[in-house]
A and B are shown apart, each in its own frame.
Chain A
Amino acid sequence: MRKYILVAKSALKEQLQYLGNLFGGFFVYGIIVFVFLQLWMYIYQGSSSINGYSLNQLVWYIVITEFIVFAMNSPVISTEISNDIKSGKLAYFLNKPYHYLIFVLFKHIGTIIPAIISYIVFGAIMGIVYIGPLETFQIISTPFFLINLTLGGLIFALIYILIGLLSFWVEENAPFKWIFSKIIIVLGITFPLEFMPSWLRGFVKLSPVYTVTYAPAKMFVDFSFDEFFSLIMAQGIYIVVLIILIVIAYRKGVRRLNVNGG
């Protein structure tokens, strides 16, 4: 385990050299949440609550979902795996004293830590400036929210790893990345599950939206133990299934790896 922590540490150190890169992201993050703020202020005119959410809760919900999209992604999971497979670079990792997939996961974790910390601070300030402190905030719910957030981030990474491994079979895995990110952006950011029509809810509950963005954001703005346990159960199932799929895909894929020269 120590070797993987070392991988995460060195990725973290490398990332600290480029902290300035985060500022452009802050600006875009701020603009996107601002546009949604205007949208929801318009919708909430004359209503204190819609589908059980106040305007204050809904804006904070978006602050959290956007935070996940901005801070939890890294080129390590979104492009490096695919590049390693397509270029044949993966062959160099196979005889190393570590497992490639765990190496990638820890490198990703090290890479996103500075973004997570800085986006949390920026997001919190932005949320307070835009709409004031979260009215339903309970200090007791914070550890549970952090558990949901961590598991949501892990599912996000595992899905990207699985998509990356598809490069063993398809030359271009971009359409799969695109479908995943589109589902998250269209259904997972702007509004919670409760706002969706009943015909869509079933699909969303099975989709990654439920475990990646809805679970942590819901636990932050509207915490309840009942919901926490059902969400954690869904996240657990997602993680187990994804790990099984990743292991199968990796084992089968590595056997197909064909590298010429180098």
Chain B
Amino acid sequence: MLTEVRNHIKLIFTSLKYNLLKEMEYRVAFISQVIGMILNNGSFIIQWIILFSLQSHFGGYLFEDVMLIWAVAAGAYGLNRIIFGNSINISNYVLTGKLDSYLVQPKNVLLNLIVSRSSASAIGDLLYGYIVIFIVGFTLESIALYTILILIGAIIFTAFTIIMQSLAFWLGRAEGIAAGVENAMLMPSTYPEGLFSGVVKTILFTVIPVGYMVYLPVRILRQFDILTMLSLLGFTALIVVIAVFIFYRGLKRYSSSNLMIVRM
């Protein structure tokens, strides 16, 4: 069991190393993508300056708190795209038969598949998160807590993406639906949870788990609470189990036409 976990971690780090080396091959493009993403996220500060000139707080959230939401959302999204960057391509691989090359390798199919690609611009997202945390003025302990929380957020987002992308096993073309639902998760993730109430809030904590990916981590960062942390960890375990179950259930339905490709 322990050896298996160690092998999985080794696989994640080895893939990450080679993915990043590949992305960094064209240095100028790589650096411009990273800086571009930092500026991209930063540009929304103007929007919030204007909004805060109309309202002193949003559901009890001040300007610094909204920046914290951005830090958590960008950090979790960034880590998802850096470590599990290929999770968004599952439906495409199912549809085109590219999954074959992963089935014959002596590694965990799902893990091997989702870690086999990284996004350069996502490094900009991750850096932006840390820049905001430093500007807001946090201690070493809270930076450590932030790192743990965005890792949890990234795992939740990855699990959710796997569930949506796995619909391709049953529906065929599911890229549009998966991308749409993913957007549905990202759009509210940069707005304070106090804006949403009733059914919408329930949806954000169940069907589209943005509440667990961003809102609960932000609550924990603002005021640490062990019960909130435990419920976050419990939900993370649950959604990972559901994602793995759905993927392997769908994999039983998978068939291809012996597509010949080489993974370089």
Contacts of B181 in A (CB 8 A): 27
B47 near A197 (CB under 8 angstroms)? no
Whether B238 sits at the interface, judged by CB under 8 Å, is no
**Which of B5-13, B152-160, B187-195 participates in binding chain A?**
B187-195
Within B44-60, the residues touching A (CB, 8 Å) are 44, 46-47, 49-51, 53-55, 58-59
Whether A182 sits at the interface, judged by CB under 8 Å, is yes
A28 to B195, CA, bound (A): 19
Tell me the total A-B contact number using a CB cutoff of 8 A.
71
B179 near A24 (CB under 8 angstroms)? yes
A186 near B43 (CB under 8 angstroms)? yes
Known contacts A175-B32, A182-B40: does B187 contact A27 (CB below 8 Å)? Answer: no
Contacts of B256 in A (CB 8 A): none
**Which of A30-38, A82-90, A120-128 participates in binding chain B?**
A30-38
Whether B184 sits at the interface, judged by CB under 8 Å, is yes
Contact of B47 among A35, A174, A186 (CB under 8 A): A186
B200 near A43 (CB under 8 angstroms)? no
Taking the closest CB of chain A, its distance from the CB of B184, in whole angstroms, is 5
A42 near B58 (CB under 8 angstroms)? yes
Whether A23 sits at the interface, judged by CB under 8 Å, is yes
A23 near B191 (CB under 8 angstroms)? no
Nearest residue (CB) in A for B178 is: A24
Whether B242 sits at the interface, judged by CB under 8 Å, is no
Taking the closest CB of chain A, its distance from the CB of B9, in whole angstroms, is 35
Nearest residue (CB) in A for B176 is: A24
Range class of the B interface residue count: 20 to 34
Whether A206 sits at the interface, judged by CB under 8 Å, is no
Known contacts A23-B176, A24-B177, A197-B50: does B55 contact A42 (CB below 8 Å)? Answer: yes
Within B180-238, the residues touching A (CB, 8 Å) are 180-181, 183-184, 187-188, 191, 194-196, 200
A78 to B220, CA, bound (A): 42
Taking the closest CB of chain B, its distance from the CB of A244, in whole angstroms, is 29
Whether A195 sits at the interface, judged by CB under 8 Å, is yes
Contacts of B32 in A (CB 8 A): 172, 175
Known contacts A24-B176, A175-B32: does B47 contact A43 (CB below 8 Å)? Answer: no
Q: Mark B136-171, 1 if CB is under 8 A from A, else 0.
A: 000000000000000000000000000000000000
Within A169-216, the residues touching B (CB, 8 Å) are 172, 174-175, 178, 182, 186-187, 190-191, 195-197, 200
Whether A257 sits at the interface, judged by CB under 8 Å, is no
Contact of A178 among B40, B49, B54, B194 (CB under 8 A): B40
Contacts of A182 in B (CB 8 A): 39-40, 43
Taking the closest CB of chain B, its distance from the CB of A255, in whole angstroms, is 26
A50 near B54 (CB under 8 angstroms)? yes
Known contacts A24-B176, A175-B36: does B51 contact A43 (CB below 8 Å)? Answer: yes
B184 near A187 (CB under 8 angstroms)? no
Contact of B180 among A24, A50, A197, A200 (CB under 8 A): A24
Whether A21 sits at the interface, judged by CB under 8 Å, is yes
Whether B62 sits at the interface, judged by CB under 8 Å, is no
Nearest residue (CB) in A for B185 is: A31
Contacts of A172 in B (CB 8 A): 29, 32
Nearest residue (CB) in A for B194 is: A42
Taking the closest CB of chain A, its distance from the CB of B221, in whole angstroms, is 22
B54 near A42 (CB under 8 angstroms)? no
Contacts of B188 in A (CB 8 A): 31, 35
Within A129-150, the residues touching B (CB, 8 Å) are none
A38 to B199, CA, bound (A): 13
A186 near B44 (CB under 8 angstroms)? yes
B59 near A42 (CB under 8 angstroms)? yes
Within B63-89, the residues touching A (CB, 8 Å) are none
Whether A5 sits at the interface, judged by CB under 8 Å, is no
A3 to B180, CA, bound (A): 37
Contacts of B51 in A (CB 8 A): 39, 43, 190-191
Contacts of B58 in A (CB 8 A): 39, 42
Contacts of A200 in B (CB 8 A): 46, 50
**Selected A-B contacts with CB under 8 Å, 19 pairs:** A21-B176, A24-B176, A35-B187, A35-B195, A38-B200, A39-B58, A39-B191, A42-B55, A42-B58, A42-B194, A42-B195, A175-B32, A182-B39, A186-B44, A190-B50, A190-B51, A191-B51, A196-B50, A197-B50
Interface residues of B (CB under 8 A from A): 29, 32, 36, 39-40, 43-44, 46-47, 49-51, 53-55, 58-59, 176-177, 179-181, 183-184, 187-188, 191, 194-196, 200
The 6 closest A-B pairs by CB, nearest first: A24-B176, A27-B180, A28-B183, A38-B195, A24-B180, A31-B184
